[in-house]
Amino acid sequence: MKIPLAHIHVRAAERPEGYVEDVLSKGRVDGDFLEIDDVAYAGLVEKYQGGVLFPEPTLRDVLVNASTALARFIKAGCPVLSQEDIHRRSAVCTGKHEARPCSEWSTDGLYAHCALCGCSKLKMWLATEKCPLGKWPC
Ligand code: SF4
């Protein structure tokens, strides 16, 4: 299986020191991904969580994130980006305009979304939002 390196670094914030080095030592880095076999992956799941190692946001997480983003947007006076800036953000996430899609962009499930925050393309319109990996600014 292939795990985006960005996922590993984001999860490190919730894991003990040495987590990234431990996970990387169990596989082989290939570009933006860690290739890891099923046995090694299962060992990491057992060691760090006893469950899913790299879960996507739950429905609750998505609703909390969306509510927080909406509150931030309203408090700031509802600032919306220009069409040019929205297209620029969209290109980074979805890979349109001949760019590669972000490894976190997912078209699985009910709607296309960022697998890190669970947000849809709507987030790209809001000037108060930013990419959790800093790939596009606020
Ligand atoms: S918001 Fe950031 S991390 Fe999420 S898909 Fe877009 S570029 Fe990737």
List the chain residues with pLDDT less than 50: 53
Residue 114: the pLDDT is: 87
Residue 56: the pLDDT is: 67
Indicate if ligand 1 lies below 6 Å from the C-beta of 126.
no
Work out which ligand 1 atom sits closest to the CA atom of 92: 7
Residue 98: the pLDDT is: 64
Indicate if ligand 1 lies below 6 Å from the C-beta of 93.
yes
Residue 10: the pLDDT is: 79
Same domain, 34 and 65: no
Same domain, 107 and 63: yes
Residue 58: the pLDDT is: 75
Q: For residue 33, how far is its CA from the centre of ligand 1 (angstroms)?
A: 15
Indicate if ligand 1 lies below 6 Å from the C-beta of 135.
yes
Residue 97: the pLDDT is: 62
Which domain, by its residues, includes 14? 2-48
User: Does residue 82 sit within a domain?
Assistant: yes
**Residue 112 CB contacts under 8 Å (≥ 6 apart), including other chains:** 94, 105, 106, 120, 121
Q: Quick one: three-class SS letters along 75-112? A: HCCCCECCHHHHHHHHHHHHCCCCCCCCCCEECCCCCC
Indicate if ligand 1 lies below 6 Å from the C-beta of 104.
yes
Beta-bridge partner residues of 3: 34
**Residue 18 CB contacts under 8 Å (≥ 6 apart), including other chains:** none
Same domain, 75 and 103: yes
Same domain, 67 and 43: no
User: Does residue 107 sit within a domain?
Assistant: yes
Domain count, the chain: 2
